[in-house]
Amino acid sequence: MTNLANDFGIAEPELIDRPEKRGRLGILFWVCVAWLGINIFGAIFANVLPLPNPIANNYSAINFGPSLHHLLGTDELGRDIFSRIVYGSRISVSVGFGAMFIGFGVGAPLGMLAAYRRGLFDQIVTTLMYVFLAFPAIIAVIAVLSFWTPRSLLKIILVIGIASIPLVYRVIRAATLSMGSRDFVIAARVQGATDRRIIFRELLPNIAPVGISFLLIGIATVVTLEGALAFLGLSINPPQPSWGNMINESRTLLSQNIWIAIFPALALCLFLLSLNYIGDRLRSYFDVSEVKL
């Protein structure tokens, strides 16, 4: 009986119930999750938290170092750096999640459908996506944003989000392709399951791990791109703070006050590091073979 069951790929019940050996996520993983949580919390509740006005100049407190009164010091106009960093996280968080919302909203369904249906539809969409993938997103984004004036946060999210669609499409399509020919999908089809059922009940849960880890890495990529745009002065306009434009403003003041460069840079790097680390850990946790990003 046991042999027969094994021949058909049906394992003994206790074998199914035994949790798979995966190792643990590790303490660093949870530290990164917590840090990400703090950042998102700060971004959402920045105007409720007891913070000084991030755009109010105070000429009696210019270029102060870190102190109890100004946790991370003040900049060349006497504005509180800590408060500006918390408010600045709003830009990074909303661009990160907003752009990826667009990217996944369009790219993921298209990728799944193309990989599931194959045929002409797949060929046309994939060729189109590869055409758009062929040149670096930053050029397209800079080009569109420099002509499509005046710039606003919504436009930036929209442009970066659209630019990310081909990337998401490629990853999700590859993941679906690798799942589509597995036995359990064929079994479902043999049993007469509808396409919708196969896509949502069989394929979706299995490509979700790849999707989630790519989502995090994608957010990091998009936040970096917005940071570079802000550094070049092509993102939202000062005095509204973002991490990128704070670093931009600090570049001429490096010899006077290094704190205004260090803190926003640190905030951005830690944010990116936790996103990348969580994404990377999740990928190896779910034992997904490396999907090329």
- The residues of the shown chain that bind other proteins, judged by CB under 8 A, are 127, 130-132, 134-136, 138-140, 142-144, 146-150, 220, 224, 227-228, 231-234, 244, 247, 250-251, 254-255, 258, 261, 265, 268-269, 272-273, 275-277, 280, 290
Contact 102, 276 (CB under 8 A): no
* Shortest separation between residue 92's beta carbon and other proteins, angstroms: 12
Count of other CB atoms within 10 angstroms of residue 219: 26
Give the tokens for residue 144: 């569109």
* Shortest separation between residue 232's beta carbon and other proteins, angstroms: 5
**Of 199 and 220, which CB lies nearer to other proteins in the complex structure?**
220
Q: Which of 82, 75, 59 is nearest to 258 (CA)?
A: 75
* Shortest separation between residue 188's beta carbon and other proteins, angstroms: 29
* Shortest separation between residue 99's beta carbon and other proteins, angstroms: 16
Q: Which of 39, 166, 25, 139 is nearest to 90 (CA)?
A: 39
Positive/negative CA dihedral, 182, 188, 194, 200:
negative
**Of 53 and 284, which CB lies nearer to other proteins in the complex structure?**
284
* Shortest separation between residue 49's beta carbon and other proteins, angstroms: 26
DSSP 74: B
Q: How far apart are the first and last CA of the chain?
A: 45
* Shortest separation between residue 147's beta carbon and other proteins, angstroms: 4
Question: Distance between CA atoms of 210 and 174, rounded to whole angstroms?
Answer: 10
What is the crossing angle of helices 204-231 and 137-147, to 10°? 60
Q: Specify the residue for token string 């949790």.
A: 19
**Of 99 and 199, which CB lies nearer to other proteins in the complex structure?**
99
* Shortest separation between residue 139's beta carbon and other proteins, angstroms: 5
**Of 139 and 154, which CB lies nearer to other proteins in the complex structure?**
139
Q: Which of 21, 23, 20, 2 is nearest to 11 (CA)?
A: 2
* Shortest separation between residue 221's beta carbon and other proteins, angstroms: 10
**Of 96 and 203, which CB lies nearer to other proteins in the complex structure?**
96
Chain Cα centroid distance, residue 134 = 21
**Of 204 and 232, which CB lies nearer to other proteins in the complex structure?**
232
DSSP 20: P
**Of 51 and 145, which CB lies nearer to other proteins in the complex structure?**
145
Question: Distance between CA atoms of 81 and 71, rounded to whole angstroms?
Answer: 8
Question: Distance between CA atoms of 72 and 68, rounded to whole angstroms?
Answer: 9
Question: What count of Cα atoms within 13 Å lies in the side-chain half-sphere of residue 90?
Answer: 15
**Of 99 and 220, which CB lies nearer to other proteins in the complex structure?**
220
